[in-house]
Amino acid sequence: MILLDDRKLRILAAVVDEYIRTGEPVGSKTIAALPDIRVSSATIRNDMAMLEQLGFLEQPHTSAGRIPTYSGYKLYIETLMPKRALSDDEKAMLDEALGEDFSTEEALIDNATRALAEITDCAAVVSNCAPQFSVIAKVDAVPTGKHMYVLLMITSSGSIQNKVCRLELDLTHEQLAFFNEYMTRNLSGMSVDSLSDETLERLAEAMGAYTVTLSPLMKGIRELAKGFMQSDVHVSGEKNLLKRNDIEAGDVIKFFEQKNEFSKLLDDSFSELKVLFGEDGGFVIGNSSMIVSPIKKGKRTAGSLGLIGPLRLDYAKVIPYIEYMTDRISELLSEDSDSFPPALETKDDGQKG
C-alpha cells in the first residue's frame, strides 16, 4: 500500500475538489492560494509531480495543470472526501421528491429512481432481485387458442411471469386439470431459486402417462423460473447523460442497450455502497462513474439503487443523497411488508399475456 504524507493528501484532495468545481486542469498557483495549504508553489509542484508518478494525477497537456485519475478519485472518495450529513431541508427535499405513492413496491422504487435522476441531473438505475427470493404461489396453464396455452407463474411477492406454449394437440379437460393441480401441489411454497432442471425432470417423470403430452409445458415452467432468477434493471434519466459534452453518446447508448447484462454490477453492491469508474468490472461508459448502494427489506437484500454520472461528479454531495434514498426505501419496505399490495411484473419471451 502506498503511504502519502498529510501534505500530499491535502494537495490531492484540493486538486480533486477544484477540478470537480471548475472542470479545468489545476495548477500549483491555484492550490497555493487556498487557505489550508501553507507551502510554496514550488513545493506544491514537486508534490503534484510525485502524485502524478504514483498514478493519482495526470497532466492532460504539457505546461497544463493536473487532473485526477481513476486512482486519484478512488483515494479521494475512500479517504479524503469530507463526510457530510444532510441538512433537514435536504432530507425534506428528498422526501418530497420521493412522493407519497407507496401503493406498491414497484411504485416506490420507480419514484425513487425518477427523483434521484431529476435531483442529480444524472441517470438512475435500480436492480430488483426480490422475485428470485420469493416462493411460488401458483402455476396455471390457460388455453388461448388451437394448441396454444399461456403458462402463468405467480410468486408470493405478487410477481408474475407468463409464457405462450404451443402443443401438438389440444389438451383434454382432464389433462389440463391434472397439470394445474399437479403443479400447484408440487410447486406451491417452493422457492424460485430451488426450481432446478433436475427437480422438474423428476416431476415430469412422476406424471406417468401424462409425461409426453405435458412435457412442453414443463419446459415452459423452467423458462419462467429462469426469468425470475434474472434481476430486473430499470433506468431513469438516460437523456441526462446524452446531453453531456464530456461523455460519449455512443458509449451511453451501447451501455443501456445491454442494461440487463450489467445487472451483475448492481448485484455486486448488495453488501455495501460502491463506486465504479470507466471500465471497472465491465462498466464501459468512458469518463463516467457509477455509485451503487444496496436496498434492504428487513434483513434481506431486495435490490440496489445506483447513479451514473460524469467522472467529474460532486461525490461529497451526491453520495449522501443516494445513501439517504436507499435507507428511506429500505425503511419503507421493512416497516410492514403487508402494507404493500403485490407489485405485478409481467415478462415473457417477447409476448405479453
DSSP 283: -
Mean pLDDT of 41-63: 92
| 58: CATH | 1.10.10.10
Mean pLDDT of 281-291: 81
- Residue 154 has a pLDDT of 86
Pairwise CA distance, residues 187 & 181, whole Å: 10
Q: Which residue has the cell 399490495?
A: 341
The listed range with the strongest mean pLDDT (137-151, 264-278, 332-346) is 137-151
Is the per-residue pLDDT at 209 higher than 80? Answer: yes
Q: Select from 180, 211, 230 the last residue of a domain.
A: 230
Got the DSSP string for 323-350?
HHHHHHHHHHHHH-GGGSPPPP-EE-SS
Is the per-residue pLDDT at 350 higher than 60? Answer: no
Q: Select from 202, 230, 258 the last residue of a domain.
A: 230
More confident residue, 283 or 4: 4
Mean pLDDT of 213-224: 89
More confident residue, 345 or 319: 319
Contact at 8 Å (CB) between 333 and 302?
A: yes
Q: Considering the domain boundaries, does residue 290 fall inside one?
A: yes
Say what the pTM is.
Answer: 0.70
By residue range, what is the domain housing residue 172?
A: 132-230
Same domain, 156 and 175: yes
| 101: CATH | 3.30.450.40
Q: Considering the domain boundaries, does residue 344 fall inside one?
A: no
Is the per-residue pLDDT at 227 higher than 80? Answer: no
- Number of Cβ atoms within 10 Å of the Cβ of 282: 12
Query: What's the structural domain count of the chain?
Result: 3
The listed range with the strongest mean pLDDT (50-54, 268-272, 302-306) is 50-54
Is the per-residue pLDDT at 192 higher than 70? Answer: yes
Q: Considering the domain boundaries, does residue 292 fall inside one?
A: yes
Mean pLDDT of 55-84: 91
pLDDT digits (tens, 9 = 90+) for 101-137: 776 777 888 888 999 999 999 999 888 755 555 788 8
Contact at 8 Å (CB) between 291 and 306?
A: yes
Mean pLDDT of 89-102: 87
Same domain, 265 and 204: no
Q: Considering the domain boundaries, does residue 350 fall inside one?
A: no
Got the DSSP string for 214-248?
HHHHHHHHHHHHHHHHSPEEEEE-HHHHHT-SSS-
